């Protein structure tokens, strides 16, 4: 994590809230029998974060992905995209929370 990344996250309204939403949702993910009992933190795109207009979420997602703080994976045509906070994003979020 660079000082610039930290400053950007502090300055940009809503960015840390979106990262926190993914981090919190990933922690609460439950293992499933279909996954062999493994816990996965990938999830569908979060489309509602308290205090952030839905129209801003798309831009925030793009910026967080571009910075390497959030990643996505195309699973298949039925499941679609799955999102996950990256280790770098998790470390930056922890730094902001302290």
Angle at the Cα of 60 from the Cα atoms of 56 and 64, rounded to 5 degrees = 175
- pLDDT tens for residues 14-25? 888 999 999 988
- pLDDT tens for residues 60-73? 999 999 999 999 99
The SS3 call for residue 23 is helix
Q: What is the pTM of this model?
A: 0.78
**Helical H segments across the chain, by residue range:** 3-11, 15-27, 54-66, 87-97
Structural domains of the chain, ranges and CATH numbers in brackets: 3-97 (1.10.10.10)
């Amino acid at each position: 994590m660079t000082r610039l990344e930290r400053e950007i996250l502090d300055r940009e309204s809503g960015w840390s809230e979106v990262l926190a939403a993914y981090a919190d949702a990933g922690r609460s993910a439950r293992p499933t029998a279909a996954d062999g009992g493994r816990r996965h933190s990938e999830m569908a795109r979060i489309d509602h974060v308290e205090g952030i207009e839905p129209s801003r979420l798309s831009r925030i997602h793009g910026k967080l992905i571009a910075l390497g703080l959030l990643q996505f994976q195309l699973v298949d045509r039925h499941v679609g995209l799955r999102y996950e906070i990256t280790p770098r994003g998790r470390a930056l979020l922890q730094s902001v929370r302290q």
